[in-house]
Copies of this chain bind each other. A is one copy, B any other.
Amino acid sequence: MGGWDVLLSPVILFFVLGALAAFARSDLSIPESIAKGMSLYLMASIGLKGGVQVAAAGLSVEILLAAVAGLALSFLIPVPAFLLLRRAGRLDPINAAAVAAHYGSVSVVTFVTGVETLSAAGMPPAGYMVAVMALMETPAIIIGLLLARRTSGAALPTRGGLFHETVLNGSVVLLLGSFLIGFITGKEGFAPVAPVFDTAFRGVLCLFLLDMGLIAARRLQDARALTARTAALAVLLPICNGTIGVLTGALIGLDTGSAAALGILAGSASYIAVPAVIRLTLPQADPGLYLGMSLAVTFPFNITLGIPLYTMLAERIVGS
């Protein structure tokens, strides 16, 4: 299957169906608890499968390199993003910092969809990329808060602080936890649960992306906070970051699939873990803006155009 044929796979078509239904203002909707349940399932699945693969392939220096690269990307990407959002986007410091944190972090669903399409195209990324993704989820938040300089912390008491909200964030814990479980049990222990966590994966992803299409398109319609400038940046940022990600992957010697996956991670923007922490730590920032950009523009862009783009780039640079 070539790079763009993937747009005609059921997974992507269900996403498009959801978006079209929302644009046509159909009342189609998936209960929120079902959507939450499916997202937990997808995270547990991808974590388990990554762990099983690493258990089979064994630990290596490559893994360490990829982890360091992922961390570095998550720490560094917010800085140029912040400057771009301040200048080109004309955002105030608080909002620019909040948005920058989202683009430094990652979108699990974008990654999952990317892995599916890369695997279908015969270039499955290495199993450890799941762990890299989990590592990339939260560092960007810290940089974002530093960029915002003075947080609103004084106004409302927050106990426990950032550690709990970031490192112990539910999705990080589930991803790393399942990864570890997969690593411990290995292929043999995974076999009896494979019908649920492997065979059913793609079908559930279809239904989840149907919901994501609905949510993204509805948010785009309700998004008063988005201007032409910020919407354009929400397309420009993933392209730049994704390219940086692929280049970094090529530089540290990853295979084509893994380099593309690193590009997908760098190019994606968080809309689950980061918004919750930012709402808590930078409550003055506008959720309509950061969710509008990451969820309503960047996410659909990545699912439809970004993933094939980063894949093509990786094929050109690393070779296919």
Contact = CB atoms under 8 A, between A and B. Distances in A.
Interface in A4-63: 8-11, 13-14, 17, 20-21, 24-34, 36-37, 40-41, 44, 48
A169 interface: yes
Contacts of A203: 193-197, 200
A196 B185 contact: no
A245 to B, nearest CB: 27
A28 B175 CA distance: 11
Contact of A189 (B10, B173, B276): B10
A200 B202 contact: no
A17 B207 contact: no
A157 interface: no
A170 interface: yes
A140 B207 CA distance: 29
A27 B168 contact: yes
A264 B210 CA distance: 29
Interface in A178-218: 178, 180-181, 184-185, 189-190, 192-197, 199-200, 202-204, 206-207, 210
A192 B36 CA distance: 23
Contact of A8 (B36, B48, B170, B189): B189
A113 to B, nearest CB: 13
Contacts of A199: 195
How many copies the complex holds: the figure is 3
B170 A9 contact: no
Contact of A181 (B13, B44, B180): B13
B185 A193 contact: no
A26 B168 contact: yes
A44 B14 CA distance: 10
Interface of A: 8-11, 13-14, 17, 20-21, 24-34, 36-37, 40-41, 44, 48, 120, 160, 164-165, 168-171, 173-174, 177-178, 180-181, 184-185, 189-190, 192-197, 199-200, 202-204, 206-207, 210, 276
* 8 smallest beta-carbon distances between A and B, as pairs: A196-B203, A31-B33, A28-B170, A34-B37, A26-B168, A17-B177, A193-B203, A195-B199
